[in-house]
Every structure is written in C-alpha cells, then in structure tokens.
Amino acid sequence: MPMDAAEIETLIKQALPDAQVDIRDLAGDGDHYAATVTSEAFRGKSRVQQHQLVYQALKGNMGGELHALALTTNAPD
C-alpha cells in the first residue's frame, strides 16, 4: 500500500520537529513524491548528510511503501 503524504510529513516532523515540510504527489499514485524540507538540523551538513537524515526519519519505508522521493533540503535563512 502506498504511503500518504501526511504520513511522510509526520515521520519527518517526528525526527526533525522544527522542519518545514512541503510534499507534492508527482504522479497522483501515492508512490512518487517530491519533498522540500527545511530544518536547522541541516546547518553545516553536506547535502548527502541532509538527505540521510530524512531517509532515517522515514524508518525504512523508502523503496518499499514509498517508491520514489525527490528531495530538496536546506537550513533556514
């Protein structure tokens, strides 16, 4: 069963409570999303490290219930 966008946002915010999360369903199928995540936790980290934090927040659902997630991450201005 595909993941709901609200579930993705909840998982991210549980791991990164200050995160601002914007999720778009790219194909309308609940399997292909794009997410923009802004969090102070990303400050000073490489893009790879930032993405790893988000993938960890998804608790192993990436590649299973969640087929594809295009990520844009950044620290607040």
| pLDDT per position as a tens digit, 15-68 | 999 999 999 999 887 778 899 999 999 999 999 999 999 999 988 776 666 778
Task: Find the angle CA(26)-CA(59)-CA(71) to the nearest 5 degrees.
Answer: 35
Query: Residues with Cβ < 8 Å from 4, sequence gap 6 or more?
Result: 30
The reported pLDDT for the residue numbered 53 is 96
Cα–Cα–Cα angle for 11, 58, 74, nearest 5°? 80
pTM summary value: 0.88
